[in-house]
């Protein structure tokens, strides 16, 4: 069974500000990997962080929450890696 993927409005705005090739790569990675999460690779559970998980896509990070009971992945933040994004 596949997960439902939900983008919060802030994450959509952040994605739209990125270069077009990065947008495509991020969307492809989210659809390909997070739809079958947790049976995927490249996702890390974050400790002591406001978001639960991180998907790395090149120089960019997709931070998200996962509710396993209803199989919902909520994309919270998309951005370039810095000292605050893992």
pLDDT (0 to 100) of residue 83: 56
Q: For residue range 35-71, what is the model confidence (pLDDT) as tens digits?
A: 998 888 889 999 988 899 999 999 999 999 999 888 9
Q: For residue range 5-17, what is the model confidence (pLDDT) as tens digits?
A: 999 999 999 999 9
Q: Would residue 46 count as lying in a domain?
A: yes
pTM of this structure = 0.88
| Residue 44 CA, distance from chain mean position | 10
CATH number at residue 31: 3.30.2310.20
- Look at phi and psi of residue 32 and say left if phi exceeds 0, alpha if psi is from -120 to 50, else beta: alpha
Q: Would residue 9 count as lying in a domain?
A: yes
Q: Would residue 24 count as lying in a domain?
A: yes
Strands 43-45 and 53-57: antiparallel
Containing domain of residue 32, as a range? 4-80
Q: What is the mean pLDDT of the chain?
A: 90
């Amino acid at each position: 069974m596949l997960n439902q993927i939900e983008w919060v409005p802030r994450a959509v705005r952040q994605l739209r500000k990125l270069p077009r090739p990065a947008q495509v790569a991020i969307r492809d990675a989210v659809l390909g990997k997070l739809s079958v999460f947790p049976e995927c690779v490249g996702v890390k559970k974050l400790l002591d962080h406001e978001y639960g998980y991180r998907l790395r896509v090149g120089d960019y990070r997709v931070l998200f929450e996962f509710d396993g009971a209803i199989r919902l992945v909520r994309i919270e933040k998309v951005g370039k890696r810095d000292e605050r994004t893992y």
